[in-house]
Structure 1
Amino acid sequence: MIEDVSFSVPGDSGAELRVRAWRIDGGRPGPKVHLQAGIHADEIAGMLVLHELLPRLRDAAERGVLNGSVTVVPQANPFGIGQFRQGRILGRNHEATSRNFNRGFIASAAASGTLDNLTLWQKRLAELAASADIVLDLHTDDEALQYVYIHECFWPAAQDLAAALQTELAIIWEGDGDGAFEEVVIAPWLAEQRFAGRLVATVELRGQGDVSDALAQQDADGLYRFLGARGVVTDAGPLPEWNGVATPMGFMETVFAPAAGVLVFERELGEYLEAGERFARIISCPGDASSEHILRAPQSGLFATRYRDRLIPQGAIAGKFTGTVQSSTWSSGALDP
């Protein structure tokens, strides 16, 4: 059975905005799954992945190989997807309020009475996922390796997700952040201390420019294999071996741009650097050789993410690395601002 579970919220102009969502029910006992993409509306890859996966799930239900149900929300953010300025989409923050679209979900889910439009949207999205056993929130970084972001209570059980997607990295977090979507899902589970058969994870599908039919098909195949490993579909292939790196979030090293200028990367994503090795330089004043700033790896580890544009403002994140010990700059909270 395929059910339309879409909902509407008022936009900034007052006009109704539609969040399209479908629930595919196999009519047999099994896990409840929620898959969504585009909370940050400038992160497009997951939208195409779910566009590819949805007909496969419909077909699985029709063939009787789907257990439980899967809710699919391919484009979760109706506000950000319309925020185009000077030819670029500004989908990370709500333009009217400057709120990060993926923060404050816990407060919004608990809110009552007359709600502002953004709070109402977050509340409705959280309600749509509230009954699920497995929740995957698809994102992308600027430029990055494929990685997953998982609470420590699900690790190492969630290696099946990392293996299915063949991610190079799993970042393991603990404690509280700033109310990201996965936190509102996990909050009641943490209160119950019941995690068997459950999983919530943020999946980072490489970088913002990594949108193609080939990658979408690869990732849709990976998600289908993962659903097979969790007993949701019965015709998925076996999981490959996972050979990636798992690291606590506090071990991740973030290198900020010490100055604005032309950003030149000298090493590639996925390379292993020793502590102190240079990976990039920033030329603050082209033509002046003394204006170059050398960026170095803070400790030995994988070059995991990097800034997408090649003109960087001061203070922006130039790159992130895995580490083997806790970062000297770690102060808890979310990995990104």
Structure 2
Amino acid sequence: MRIEHHPLLSRTPCTRRELTSLHYGEPGGAGKVYLQASLHADELPGMLTLHHLRQLLDRAEARGEILGEIVLVPIANPIGLEQTLMHDAMGRFDFNSGENFNRRYPDLTALIADNLARVLTDDIEQNRQIIRHAMVEALQQMQPASEIDSLRQAQLLLAIDADFVLDLHCDAQAVLHLYGETPYWPQIEPLARYIGAEASLLADGSGAGSFDEACGQTWWRLQERFAGRFPIPSGCVAATVELRGEAQVEHALASRDAAALYAFLQHRGVIAGTAPDMPELPRPATPFNGSLTLRAPCAGLVVFLHQPGAWIEEKQPVVHLIDPISSATQVVCSSVSGVMYMRSAIRFAAAGVELCKVAGANALEGGVTVSA
């Protein structure tokens, strides 16, 4: 295993941060998988999971069993990791710009598609290399104007030529779930099975400009653009895995998740050995725009009536909002049936605050909606 350091653009004199990556195997083997943790720097279960996965990979490497290339970035956001306020981690938004660390990644399709039309061929494997080269070239030509932009550039240069990209996050209080893109579900489903995803939410591009979309979305968008003209492979499949709740930084859970990721890497053929049989999928995949967000219709004390992972029926009460002065109780019900895969850690809510999400089986009118 080798360690690489990627300096970021310095924000102020006499200070400099860097992105650190751990590299197993060699390029050109049985594919490449990229895994990063804690892009939202206060979401730490993934960091511990990669700590446990690293131990498994160290042993596999000593046995000569790494057949492809595996890149780990245990701290994907050194900027956010340093951000604290009164000892509380505040790693979701950049203090300097206010930007969400998992937004505003470049749209590589827009940057490379016009030029590709002049160089693509009838050979699908040759096109894979042409597209990857174009992506890398476009990224290298960027001139980051801020530290956060240089972080995005460094992450993508490490990940953009991977066959599979995993971005490890967590939610406030949640069961294990994932986000992926609908065209790639056949390749994502084995991951969902191994990790035991209680919800798998799929979209044809959410428009968020997130890291996983920057890595994987370009390929199916190019397939659509050049359909009937040039063969385009599914060059990179990307998924965001939410490893339960932010307080669940526990060895037992992280060790289990690392073992599941290791089994998935064996399934992909990047590590030698027969992968364990895939478990049953806990729940079928559902559309991202079928996810119902319940929000507080008024201010009040938040009392959840169900734990994350509970199955919620349509019109079933989910939350009580209590006014401590008048003792009035507002009941918040779901308008769909599905698993409540996450809920907020807030226990006194202002009006309009997000309370929880329920994964409905059907797309909702107007997309992801608000209900109270």
Task: Assess same fold via TM > 0.5.
Answer: yes
1:183-194 equivalence runs, <5 A: 183-193=213-223, 194=232
What residue in structure 2 maps to residue 179 of structure 1?
209
Q: Per the alignment, in what secondary structure is the counterpart of residue 322 of structure 1?
A: strand
Would you say 1:269 and 2:308 are equivalent positions? yes
Give 5+ residue unaligned stretches, structure 1.
none
Paired positions, count: 330
1:106-185 equivalence runs, <5 A: 106=106, 112-113=142-143, 115-185=145-215
Q: Per the alignment, in what secondary structure is the counterpart of residue 238 of structure 1?
A: coil
Give distance in 1, aligned partners of 2:221 and 2:314.
40
Q: Per the alignment, in what secondary structure is the counterpart of residue 8 of structure 2?
A: strand
What residue in structure 1 maps to residue 350 of structure 2?
313
Displacement of 1:48:
0.4
Change (3 A) 1:244 1:114: closer
Displacement of 1:231:
0.6
Give distance in 2, aligned partners of 1:43 and 1:114.
26
What residue in structure 2 maps to residue 210 of structure 1?
248
What residue in structure 2 maps to residue 242 of structure 1?
281
Comparing 6-15 and 301-310, the one that deviates more? 6-15
1:3-82 equivalence runs, <5 A: 3-14=2-13, 15-25=15-25, 29-82=29-82
What residue in structure 1 maps to residue 361 of structure 2?
324
Displacement of 1:329:
4.8
Give 5+ residue unaligned stretches, structure 2.
109-137, 224-231
User: In the alignment, is the contact (CA less than 8 A) between 2:215 and 2:236 conserved in 1?
Assistant: no
What letter matches 2:207 in structure 1?
A: G
CA deviations over 1:283-309 (Å, ceiling 9, x no partner): 2x314222x221111111111110113
CA deviations over 1:75-111 (Å, ceiling 9, x no partner): 1101110111022111110011100000011159757
What residue in structure 2 maps to residue 279 of structure 1?
318
What letter matches 1:42 in structure 2?
A: D
Give distance in 1, aligned partners of 2:105 and 2:6.
17
Would you say 1:232 and 2:270 are equivalent positions? yes
Displacement of 1:8:
1.6
Give distance in 2, aligned partners of 1:330 and 1:102.
21
Change (3 A) 1:13 1:286: farther
Displacement of 1:142:
1.2
Displacement of 1:146:
0.6
Give distance in 2, aligned partners of 1:195 and 1:261.
51
What letter matches 2:341 in structure 1?
A: A
User: In the alignment, is the contact (CA less than 8 A) between 2:287 and 2:361 conserved in 1?
Assistant: no
Change (3 A) 1:196 1:114: closer
Give distance in 2, aligned partners of 1:27 and 1:120.
24
Please, what TM-score do these two structures have when normalized by structure 1? Answer: 0.91
What letter matches 2:151 in structure 1?
A: W
Give distance in 2, aligned partners of 1:278 and 1:216.
33
What residue in structure 1 maps to residue 134 of structure 2?
none
Give distance in 2, aligned partners of 1:286 and 1:42.
31
CA deviations over 1:256-281 (Å, ceiling 9, x no partner): 11223211011122222221110111
User: In the alignment, is the contact (CA less than 8 A) between 2:176 and 2:242 conserved in 1?
Assistant: yes
Displacement of 1:113:
3.2
CA deviations over 1:222-277 (Å, ceiling 9, x no partner): 10011011111123433222232210111111111122321101112222222111
Change (3 A) 1:27 1:150: closer
What letter matches 1:118 in structure 2?
A: I
CA RMSD of aligned residues (A): 2.1
Give distance in 2, aligned partners of 1:163 and 1:73.
23
Would you say 1:104 and 2:141 are equivalent positions? no
Displacement of 1:27:
7.7
Give distance in 1, aligned partners of 2:39 and 2:318.
31
What residue in structure 1 maps to residue 126 of structure 2?
none
Give distance in 2, aligned partners of 1:91 and 1:215.
22
User: In the alignment, is the contact (CA less than 8 A) between 1:28 and 1:66 conserved in 2?
Assistant: no
Runs (4 or more) in structure 1 with deviation over 6 Å come to none
User: In the alignment, is the contact (CA less than 8 A) between 1:281 and 1:295 conserved in 2?
Assistant: yes
Displacement of 1:38:
0.8
What residue in structure 1 maps to residue 336 of structure 2?
299
**Percent of paired sites with the same residue:** 31
Give distance in 2, aligned partners of 1:155 and 1:186.
12
What letter matches 1:288 in structure 2?
A: S
Give distance in 2, aligned partners of 1:197 and 1:243.
28
Give distance in 1, aligned partners of 2:28 and 2:150.
33
Aligned counterpart in structure 1 of residue 327 of structure 2, from 289, 295, 301: 289
Change (3 A) 1:26 1:117: closer
